[in-house]
Structure 1
Amino acid sequence: MLIREAKPEDLEYILDFQLKMASETENIELDRATVKSGVQAVLEDQRKGQYYVAEIGGQVVGSLLTTFEWSDWRNGTVLWIQSVYVLPGHRRKGVYSKLYEYVQKKVLDNSALKGIRLYADKSNEKAQNVYRRLGMNPDHYTTFEWLK
């Protein structure tokens, strides 16, 4: 398995993953053109975030996105993992674990990076168990949001 930073050529894979994830996890049909523009914006400007992909046999089988949170308490950046997707036939085979380990190594190797955060649906116990196995723990915050 090869884990690498996504390239512009990965756009269609990541776009497809995001549409499938929204459908599978939240039963939402996203607007393809909007999501394509959003993914493309990140691929063209790493200040917005960074996609990582997992390849097996030359096929992209999973991806995730990291975005940035400035922490004044830590005087550094915390990476947020989001937009995680692994093709159904490759789940429970360590794809996400390898993606996570790749991001974690980037944090460990860069003193300006202070940690990793992510959010999970409260009902998604499978995902929460994976995160715990990787050494993550639920924090003491509750996430609130307002979205237009």
Structure 2
Amino acid sequence: MITIQKATLQDVDTLIDFQQKLAFESEGVTLNGNVLRKGLHALFADPNKGFYFIAKENSEVIGCHMITFEWSDWRNGMVWWLQSVYVKESHRKKGVFKLMYDNIVNIVNADPGLIGLRLYVDKTNARAMKVYEAMGMDGSHYTVYEWMKA
């Protein structure tokens, strides 16, 4: 049986492993484990930054995703951003992401202060885009631009 729960500090090593795999698989990027560890510790120390959910089968963590926040003055509500989605390769195409996604949608639907869910995906990650579209998400409304310090 697969369960979804909030991640804790005890999950940091698994989250580091999953995020390093995600970055490499989806964008060919190698993440610095020390920087990632500091980033995760900062997230757990400050709930205003966001939080992680994990999917577990028995005692094994098989998937995760992070939630961060965006305030919408236009809609007077909070939008959750779904980020850092990863499912272990051995558990893909078994409905794990659907369980994680349904969990988020149920939480958003139950809270009148939450008004929606957004995510961004690398333009070359066609497999992920198909999954998100199958969940009913629409990628046609906005294009995300970014600038990052070097």
Same fold by TM-score greater than 0.5: yes
The total of aligned residue pairs comes to 148
Equivalents in 2 of 1:31, 1:76: separation in Å? 35
Normalising by structure 2, report the TM-score: 0.95
**Cα RMSD after superposing both structures:** 1.0
Counterpart position of 1:65 = 66
Counterpart position of 2:142 = 141
For residues 23-71 of structure 1, what are the alpha-carbon distances to aligned partners after superposition, in whole Å with 9 as ceiling and x for unaligned? 1111111111100011111122211001000001210010000100000
1:1-148 pair list within 5 angstroms = 1-148=2-149
Equivalents in 2 of 1:78, 1:43: separation in Å? 20
Normalising by structure 1, report the TM-score: 0.96
Cα displacement (A) at 1:89: 0.4
Equivalents in 1 of 2:45, 2:148: separation in Å? 24
Q: Which ranges of structure 1 fall in alignment gaps of 5 or more residues?
A: none
Equivalents in 1 of 2:97, 2:71: separation in Å? 25
Q: Which ranges of structure 2 fall in alignment gaps of 5 or more residues?
A: none
Percent identity of paired positions between Structure 1 and Structure 2 = 43
